[in-house]
Structure 1
Amino acid sequence: MAGEHYSAFVEEAFVKPIRSVLIVDDDYPTFDEMLDAEIARNGQKEQQKAKDWYKDPARIKKVIASFRTPGRALLVDIHDGTNVSSGAEVKIAAHLHQSDLLVLDYQLDKAKPGDGSLAIEIIRSLMCNDHFNLVVVHTSEELDTVFRETLLSLMSPLAERLGPVELEQAQTLLLEGEDELEGFIERLTRSISVDQYVHARRFRDSYLRTMGKSQQPYSAFREECGKLKWESDDRKLILKYLLEQAELDLQSRFNPGPDSQIVWDDGSSKYIKTNSVFIAFSQKGNDDDLLSELLSALNAWKPRPSRLFLAKLRAEMDEYGVMAQSAVLDNQHALAHWYRRLLASEGPNRRWLIAESVARHSEQLMNGILPRVENFAARLIDAEAKTDLPEVLSKEHFGVDLMNPQERLKADYEHNAFVSSKPPEGWHLTTGHVFVVGQDYWVCVSPACDTVPTQLSATQIALFGERLPFMAVKLNPVADGKPLKDVQSNRYVFLRIAGSVKCFCFNDPVSDTSAPTWHTLYAEKKGMLTKTFSFKVLVTERGSKGLLQRKRDAQVVCQLRYEYALNLVQRLGGSLTRIGLDFV
């Protein structure tokens, strides 16, 4: 649970930006009902009062009033869920914006007591939404049951499965146990149900240790296993097997859509979070304050500071984006110049200029937004710094122990990769592109102006045709696991490749004064890249009768940020122009 100082920033980033509330609940009044009531009164007819809100309108009024307190006059819309197909409900949910709050009744079909299928379908549709949506499931049903059913319906089955050998071993152990103790398989199977499955999904790294200590929710399982002389590995295998069987029984309740990273907490402030939806749970009662309950659930989640920064950025874009946009559009002459270049360009060059123009527009737009986000971040950091040591707070928020040398080294590597490199971009080979040929990593160090296909000189085209000559330096991998004492020597680059950070050296890692390995290579099609950032390159290699040029496949896997790429260009220039002196 977030502390009071942190809770204020969670509220500012997630709750205060809410501008409208959509309530989907068949127990709430709609405009049609109120108009029908007036028509009935004028015609002196009896108004039908089938809904529960007629019995206690004060409670409904109090809920709506909670969204319209002084300083928070939210737009509240009510949708009646009765007599509406699930497809229509999904369409309603699909239009929600990230500044909206959805209050959703779990049981939308009163003809099916306890059935939350319509509500679940709406939430599933929100999981496919591009926005980050806030939802409060507001229910009169038993809250633990609603939470568990919602959770299971949003899960996807695990991809891992026991192999054939493990399956046979598990089944053999169970049959041997049944031979020794009649009814053993039935009792053991009963000890693993939904509760154990959900626990194992939530604590995938530690549930086996919990079972090994005979702790809940596996105490009944351990008690049954204790009747046999099973080793620890046998118990772990049987638990995995029974959890797999439990998952098969739950298949029909799982989400048929793509897998989403789900986190949850079933404590006093229950929540479920996917990539695009945050769901809080609230029991209907006489003192409903849904915004407070939403904030409590957000505090239980305790979003990391970095997420608060980004949430604040989204909110500021919504709130002040139009004003910032107006400032960007004032530069008429520059905008006209950029647009003329776009119109005059053709082919791949146009694609690149469009990307460049959009980036420039975005940069100017962000210049008007970022000061507000920086102010938010400064206030958060000032408040946090007063509470504990930086290392303690970092571990609390991110689960990373920076006092541990290996954790600190990994953090340093990830930081270095983030500030020095980025995913590849562009439509042609350029300075800083890191590419792989065979097993070797190379970085392009030719000046960017010399690699633009449309700007090649007539002399270059006459000499090389469709080939682009460029200089590349071979990057030497650095052994993992040790801190670099000379990391500031400007020799190293850190690249995120295939999900992990790798360190490379511009020259020989063991010799600071060694010369880099550089080649002149020739890229086919003037260095233009495919959509997957691949290209063909001619490499000079040694053959049995002399030097040969061979065509190789090359794949751009990363890109150095410009200042880091320029550093390598300068280092190569210094190496090529060094002067040897004849001192003894």
Structure 2
Amino acid sequence: MIVIYTREELKTVWMQIASSLRGIENCNDKILETENDELIEYWQSVILPDLIHKGERALTRDETILYIQNDSLCKRIKKAIRNDGSLTEQNDINFIAKMISEYAVAENAVIPDYVTKSMVVGDTAGIKWIQSGNIFISVFHKDKDDHESDGERIWQTLNESLIEWNPSYYQIIKSEIQNTIEAEALSFNNHLANDGYGQAGWLNQILNSASEEIKRKNIEFVFSNLSEELYERLKGNKCLVGFINDVFETYTTDFKSSGEAKSLEYCSKQMNLPANASSFNEMYHALNMNLSSKNFEERHISTGTIFFDTESEKWYLCVSAACDLVPTQGNEPHHKRLSPHRLIKVLELFNANQNKALPNGEQSKYIYVIHKNTRKYLSIFEGDKTLPVVDYIVVLNHGHTVPGEEKNILSAVFLSSMDDNVQNVPVKLKLKSQLRSGYAERYQAIASQYSSRIGVDYVSMMP
């Protein structure tokens, strides 16, 4: 948190800080990169001279503030471009409108940053406060004659700014966690830190790693061990835990006094979401998705990895044992024959109805993902069937980075019959997300139970 105490005009200071934090574009370079002669000529002969002389195509201060905070293109500017008659394609008009907006931001940025682009929010007047990432800035004008009450007025301005910002509980808690880490010299007392033999053992493992990939994994284990210790230390910090409890107690008190009949409506409004049935459905989809899964950040496909065929868009869940999916392991004959490829066991996933997946979420047969900005509900059962569909896929070059391949895209094959022989049916798989521990094991158990089923024959009575 930063307080800017200045004699400069607050409008100027606010705009300089906001523009610098947001990051800027090199408009001329962007225009030239289009290699569109018509567009380049229009920019250089019409737009640029007008911007330099603050003509009608230049953004006003209020329009610049709106663009900085919302990335919204100015309708007035787009209309002016259209009226010029030089450009007819809507994409070209939007592009020039964006470049005009970026030009306005760049003019105000006292510290130009062409690399980092950040989200910036602030008060609508653009004179009081700015928030970007972990930074919160309150701007206060220094009175030339009266300094005695400045301290009190700064504190009042800061409080007003924080109230206007109205951060979510996530932002508040993250900030307090960061403050706790910075304020305390957290000591690490786990078994690895205390045990010199353990440290020596891991150092030996890292030094003797058979490959860079194994070395990375060994280092990641040491890092994760420290991360777990940090979590345990923070969890045991009574002040931090008390602060977090107080945050939610504040929401509880506010809800009770708000007059809202339903907590769903209250929570939606707190997050600036529409309070309607569609929002409530999205809330529970997001809740279940967050409870059960996380983004795929693993080194290789594993138990609980959710993925889909990029062509057919069929969805699958990997239910092979995790130990069978470690690229450096696998002593069974079929592993050795297929190496570096790997045979994996999967459950096919089927599209499910939202009206069933949300009320019956506790049945643990549904999987929640976001795909192409749409919330999807997937089930391990097709329709009203009660048995899963188990399949097998061979992942090519398992655990190896293939040059030219997009991140989290795998090449694989299905085995299929053709002319009394076996053929490979190639597919591209997109790794989407990873089920958390517990959820992944549950689906693995369902697949195992299905695979070990015993079918015995009975005879039905003839009519």
TM-score normalized with structure 1 length: 0.59
Please report how far the alpha carbon of residue 291 of structure 1 lies from its aligned counterpart in structure 2 after TM superposition: 5.3
Indicate how the Cα distance of structure 1 residues 578 and 293 shifts in structure 2: closer, same or farther if over 3 A, else same. Answer: same
Aligned counterpart, 1:430: 302
Aligned counterpart, 2:399: 528
Aligned counterpart, 1:274: 132
Please report how far the alpha carbon of residue 281 of structure 1 lies from its aligned counterpart in structure 2 after TM superposition: 0.6
State how far apart, in whole Å, the 1-side matches of 2:435 and 2:176 are.
29
Please report how far the alpha carbon of residue 307 of structure 1 lies from its aligned counterpart in structure 2 after TM superposition: 0.9
Given the alignment of the two structures, is residue 304 of structure 1 paired with residue 168 of structure 2, yes or no? yes
Aligned counterpart, 1:252: 107
Please report how far the alpha carbon of residue 247 of structure 1 lies from its aligned counterpart in structure 2 after TM superposition: 3.0
Please report how far the alpha carbon of residue 448 of structure 1 lies from its aligned counterpart in structure 2 after TM superposition: 0.8
Please report how far the alpha carbon of residue 478 of structure 1 lies from its aligned counterpart in structure 2 after TM superposition: 3.0
Instruction: Report if the CA contact (8 A) 1:421-1:559 is conserved.
Output: yes
Q: Which stretch of structure 1 is more off in the superposition, 246-255 or 471-480?
A: 246-255
State how far apart, in whole Å, the 2-side matches of 1:149 and 1:380 are.
33
Aligned counterpart, 1:452: 326
Indicate how the Cα distance of structure 1 residues 483 and 477 shifts in structure 2: closer, same or farther if over 3 A, else same. Answer: closer
State how far apart, in whole Å, the 1-side matches of 2:209 and 2:18 are.
52
Aligned counterpart, 2:235: 370
State how far apart, in whole Å, the 1-side matches of 2:181 and 2:102 are.
45
SS at match of 1:453: coil
Instruction: Report if the CA contact (8 A) 2:74-2:97 is conserved.
Output: no
Aligned counterpart, 2:425: 550
Instruction: Report if the CA contact (8 A) 1:427-1:530 is conserved.
Output: no
Instruction: Report if the CA contact (8 A) 2:387-2:450 is conserved.
Output: no
Indicate how the Cα distance of structure 1 residues 248 and 457 shifts in structure 2: closer, same or farther if over 3 A, else same. Answer: closer
Instruction: Report if the CA contact (8 A) 1:494-1:503 is conserved.
Output: yes
State how far apart, in whole Å, the 2-side matches of 1:328 and 1:265 are.
48
State how far apart, in whole Å, the 2-side matches of 1:249 and 1:203 are.
16
Aligned counterpart, 2:252: 385
Please report how far the alpha carbon of residue 363 of structure 1 lies from its aligned counterpart in structure 2 after TM superposition: 0.3
Instruction: Report if the CA contact (8 A) 2:347-2:388 is conserved.
Output: no
Given the alignment of the two structures, is residue 492 of structure 1 paired with residue 366 of structure 2, yes or no? yes
State how far apart, in whole Å, the 1-side matches of 2:234 and 2:71 are.
40
Q: Which stretch of structure 1 is more off in the superposition, 290-299 or 139-148?
A: 290-299
State how far apart, in whole Å, the 1-side matches of 2:95 and 2:429 are.
45
Aligned counterpart, 1:395: 268
Larger radius of gyration: 1
Please report how far the alpha carbon of residue 456 of structure 1 lies from its aligned counterpart in structure 2 after TM superposition: 1.4
State how far apart, in whole Å, the 1-side matches of 2:192 and 2:375 are.
37
Given the alignment of the two structures, is residue 572 of structure 1 paired with residue 431 of structure 2, yes or no? no
Given the alignment of the two structures, is residue 418 of structure 1 paired with residue 290 of structure 2, yes or no? yes
Q: Which stretch of structure 1 is more off in the superposition, 430-439 or 410-419?
A: 430-439
Please report how far the alpha carbon of residue 528 of structure 1 lies from its aligned counterpart in structure 2 after TM superposition: 1.1
Indicate how the Cα distance of structure 1 residues 466 and 501 shifts in structure 2: closer, same or farther if over 3 A, else same. Answer: same
State how far apart, in whole Å, the 2-side matches of 1:359 and 1:437 are.
32
Given the alignment of the two structures, is residue 349 of structure 1 paired with residue 349 of structure 2, yes or no? no
Indicate how the Cα distance of structure 1 residues 296 and 583 shifts in structure 2: closer, same or farther if over 3 A, else same. Answer: farther
Instruction: Report if the CA contact (8 A) 1:496-1:558 is conserved.
Output: no
State how far apart, in whole Å, the 2-side matches of 1:192 and 1:277 are.
26
Given the alignment of the two structures, is residue 541 of structure 1 paired with residue 416 of structure 2, yes or no? yes
Please report how far the alpha carbon of residue 293 of structure 1 lies from its aligned counterpart in structure 2 after TM superposition: 3.9
Given the alignment of the two structures, is residue 288 of structure 1 paired with residue 150 of structure 2, yes or no? yes
Instruction: Report if the CA contact (8 A) 2:319-2:347 is conserved.
Output: yes
Alignment deviations for residues 534-581 of structure 1 (CA, whole Å, 9 cap, x no partner): 433231135466642234333322211121111111111122233446
SS at match of 1:473: strand
Indicate how the Cα distance of structure 1 residues 321 and 468 shifts in structure 2: closer, same or farther if over 3 A, else same. Answer: farther
Alignment deviations for residues 492-541 of structure 1 (CA, whole Å, 9 cap, x no partner): 11134455543221121x1141332x22222233x214283343323113
SS at match of 1:530: coil
Please report how far the alpha carbon of residue 368 of structure 1 lies from its aligned counterpart in structure 2 after TM superposition: 0.9
Matched residue count: 404
Instruction: Report if the CA contact (8 A) 1:269-1:300 is conserved.
Output: no
Indicate how the Cα distance of structure 1 residues 500 and 276 shifts in structure 2: closer, same or farther if over 3 A, else same. Answer: farther
State how far apart, in whole Å, the 2-side matches of 1:488 and 1:158 are.
52
Correspondence 1:113-128 to 2 at 5 A: none
State how far apart, in whole Å, the 2-side matches of 1:524 and 1:543 are.
21
Instruction: Report if the CA contact (8 A) 1:435-1:557 is conserved.
Output: yes
1:502 to 369, 376, 397: 376
Alignment deviations for residues 65-95 of structure 1 (CA, whole Å, 9 cap, x no partner): xxxxxxxxxxxxxxxxxxxxxxxxxxxxxxx
Instruction: Report if the CA contact (8 A) 2:319-2:440 is conserved.
Output: yes
Instruction: Report if the CA contact (8 A) 1:189-1:242 is conserved.
Output: no
Please report how far the alpha carbon of residue 295 of structure 1 lies from its aligned counterpart in structure 2 after TM superposition: 4.1
Please report how far the alpha carbon of residue 196 of structure 1 lies from its aligned counterpart in structure 2 after TM superposition: 3.8
SS at match of 1:539: strand
Given the alignment of the two structures, is residue 194 of structure 1 paired with residue 67 of structure 2, yes or no? no
Indicate how the Cα distance of structure 1 residues 327 and 385 shifts in structure 2: closer, same or farther if over 3 A, else same. Answer: farther
SS at match of 2:302: coil
State how far apart, in whole Å, the 2-side matches of 1:454 and 1:245 are.
51
What amino acid is the match of 1:530?
A: T
Please report how far the alpha carbon of residue 474 of structure 1 lies from its aligned counterpart in structure 2 after TM superposition: 1.8
Instruction: Report if the CA contact (8 A) 2:310-2:430 is conserved.
Output: no
Aligned counterpart, 1:135: 2
What amino acid is the match of 1:451?
A: L
Unmatched tracts of structure 1, length 5 or more: 1-133, 162-166, 172-187, 212-238
Aligned counterpart, 2:259: none
What amino acid is the match of 1:261?
A: M
What amino acid is the match of 1:318?
A: E
Please report how far the alpha carbon of residue 280 of structure 1 lies from its aligned counterpart in structure 2 after TM superposition: 1.4
What amino acid is the match of 2:230?
A: L
State how far apart, in whole Å, the 2-side matches of 1:394 and 1:297 are.
22
Indicate how the Cα distance of structure 1 residues 547 and 462 shifts in structure 2: closer, same or farther if over 3 A, else same. Answer: closer
